[in-house]
């Protein structure tokens, strides 16, 4: 695998080449996923749930994401690494600059933040300062208490239109990538077609440019339930290596996600 950059992802979008992404939190998994062709890894604040056992992502700190980013960077030489900006670490522009600097210095090549209109100035400020930004819309888990639970977003046309406008605004503000989480498949397709930056979906149907899953879900080790939009690749493929390779292949070939993984 060649070193993956923001330019690589942009080129893939133009060529219509779909790509896979997994979360990773340590060097061994990062190296394993890279060896199986995973081009993009996210040090997600999902680590608050899957590593720390919390009920949501709110307790996660910048220091913790920075630590896990250093671990992932140590294991992955070529993959593009995105680090999540934790809850309230980008409440103001200045806070965002400070948090993003810590994550970039820990080895990330891009930072991800959740939200729409209120973030446009921040996204502009980060990109002007040389920090690539991945935006995140739809079910943004840091707002779970505002939403009243982990619920699919954008189901009525007013909300759907708002998400589309937010996506366009974030691209305009300089975002290099966009994650769409748990929105109707038709809305995700419309947004993907409306943007020139790559769109990564999770619970957003088959028509985004890329797919991401939490590694624990792919490996069938999520405690409790496995989300509808996720897929356990271990049962069928046996080893972690084969599971990662199968996920990459199924995303590239458009086999995953199937209709049953999406929302109407
Ligand atoms: O934290 C995370 O793992 C994420 C992905 C699910 C997109 O934000
Ligand atoms: Na996250």
Query: 77-123, pLDDT tens digit by residue?
Result: 999 999 999 999 999 999 999 999 999 999 999 999 999 999 999 99
The residue-averaged pLDDT of 127-135 equals 98
246 Cβ closer than 6 Å to some ligand 1 atom: no
Q: At what angle do helices 93-105 and 62-75 cross, to 10 degrees?
A: 30
What is the average pLDDT across 4-14? 97
pTM, whole model, 2 decimals?
A: 0.98
CB 17 within 8 A of CB 40: no
pLDDT of residue 225: 75
Q: What is the mean pLDDT of the chain?
A: 97
What is the Cα–Cα distance from 75 to 226, expressed in whole angstroms? Answer: 27
Using a 6 Å cutoff on CB, does residue 49 contact ligand 1?
A: no
Residue in the structure block whose two tokens are 């949501």: 56
DSSP the chain: -PPP-HHHHHHHHHHT--EEEEE--SHHHHHHHHHTT--EEEE-TTHHHHTT--SSSTT--HHHHHHHHHHHHHH-SSSEEEEEPPTTSSSSHHHHHHHHHHHHHTT-SEEEEE-SGGGHHHHHHHHHTT--EEEEEES-GGGHHHHTSS-----SHHHHHHHHHHHHHHHHHT-SEEEEES--HHHHHHHHHH-SS-EEEESS-TTSSEEEE-HHHHTT--SS---TT----HHHH-SHHHHHHHHHHHHHTT-SS-GGGS--
Q: Tell me, what's the pLDDT at 222? A: 78
- Ligand 1 contact, 214 CB (< 6 A): yes
Q: Which atom of ligand 1 is nearest to the CA of 213?
A: 6
Where do we find the tokens 């593009």?
80
211 Cβ inside 6 Å of ligand 1: no
Mean pLDDT of 2-23: 97
> ∠ CA 89-90-92 to the nearest 5 degrees?
125
Degrees, nearest 5: CA angle 71-73-76? 115
Check whether 114 is labelled as a binding-site residue: yes
The residue to which tokens 């996204």 are assigned: 123
121 annotated as ligand-binding:
no
* pLDDT single digits (tens) 151-178: 999 999 999 999 999 999 999 999 999 9
Q: Where are the domains of the chain?
A: 6-261
Is 45 known to sit in a ligand binding site? Answer: yes
Q: Which ligand is nearest to the CA of 85?
A: 2
Contacts of 87 (CB under 8 A, 6+ apart): 45, 57, 58, 60, 142
Ligand 1 pocket check for 171: Cβ under 6 Å: no
Separation of 36 CA from ligand 1 center, angstroms?
Answer: 20
Is the pLDDT confidence value at 202 over 70? yes
CA distances from 225 to 184, 216, 222 (A): 21, 11, 7
Q: 255 C-alpha to center of ligand 2: Å?
A: 24
How much is the pLDDT for 1? 87
Residue whose CB lies within 8 A of the most ligand 1 atoms, among 212, 216, 218, 229, for a mutation test: 212
Contact yes or no for 209/200 (Cβ under 8 A):
yes
* Atom of ligand 1 lying closest to residue 212 CA: 7
CATH 3.20.20.60 fits 6-261, yes or no: yes
Q: Is 168 annotated as a binding residue?
A: no
Q: How confident is the model at residue 184 (pLDDT cuts 50, 70, 90)?
A: very high
**Residue 84 near ligand 1, beta carbon < 6 Å:** yes
The answer to whether the bond into 257 is cis (omega within 30° of 0) is yes
Give the residue carrying structure tokens 């990062």: 30
Q: What is the pLDDT of residue 177?
A: 98
Q: How far is the CA of 166 from the centre of ligand 1 (A)?
A: 19
Residue 190: partners with Cβ closer than 8 Å, 6 or more residues away? 164
228-251 pLDDT per residue, tens: 999 999 999 999 999 999 999 999
Which atom of ligand 1 is found nearest the CA of 47?
1
Per-residue pLDDT tens digits for 55-77: 999 999 999 999 999 999 999 99
Ligand nearest to the CA of 216: 1
With tokens 């979360």, the residue in question is 23
Q: Residue 223: pLDDT above 80?
A: no
Task: State residue 43's pLDDT score.
Answer: 99
């Amino acid at each position: 695998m060649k070193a993956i950059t923001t330019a690589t992802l942009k080129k893939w979008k133009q060529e219509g080449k779909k790509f896979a992404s997994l979360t990773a939190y340590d060097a061994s998994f990062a190296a394993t996923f890279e060896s199986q062709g995973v081009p993009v890894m996210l040090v997600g604040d999902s680590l608050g749930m899957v590593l720390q056992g919390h009920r949501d992502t709110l307790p996660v700190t910048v220091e913790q994401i920075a630590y896990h980013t250093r671990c992932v960077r140590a294991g992955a030489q070529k993959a593009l690494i995105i680090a999540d900006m934790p809850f309230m670490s980008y409440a103001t522009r200045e806070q965002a600059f400070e948090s993003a600097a810590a994550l970039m210095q820990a080895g990330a090549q891009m930072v991800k933040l959740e939200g729409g209109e209120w973030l446009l100035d921040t996204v502009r400020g980060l990109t002007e300062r040389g920090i690539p930004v991945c935006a995140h819309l739809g079910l943004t888990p840091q707002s779970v208490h505002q939403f009243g639970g982990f619920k699919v977003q954008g189901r009525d046309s007013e909300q759907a239109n708002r998400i589309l406008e937010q996506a366009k605004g974030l691209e305009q503000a300089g975002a290099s990538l966009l994650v769409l989480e748990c929105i109707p498949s038709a809305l995700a397709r419309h947004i993907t077609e409306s943007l020139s930056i790559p769109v990564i979906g999770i619970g957003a149907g088959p028509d985004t440019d890329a797919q991401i899953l939490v590694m624990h879900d792919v490996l069938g080790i999520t405690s409790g339930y496995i989300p509808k939009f996720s897929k356990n690749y271990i049962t069928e493929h046996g080893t972690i290596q084969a599971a990662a390779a199968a996920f990459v292949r199924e995303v590239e070939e458009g086999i995953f996600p199937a209709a049953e993984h999406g929302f109407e």
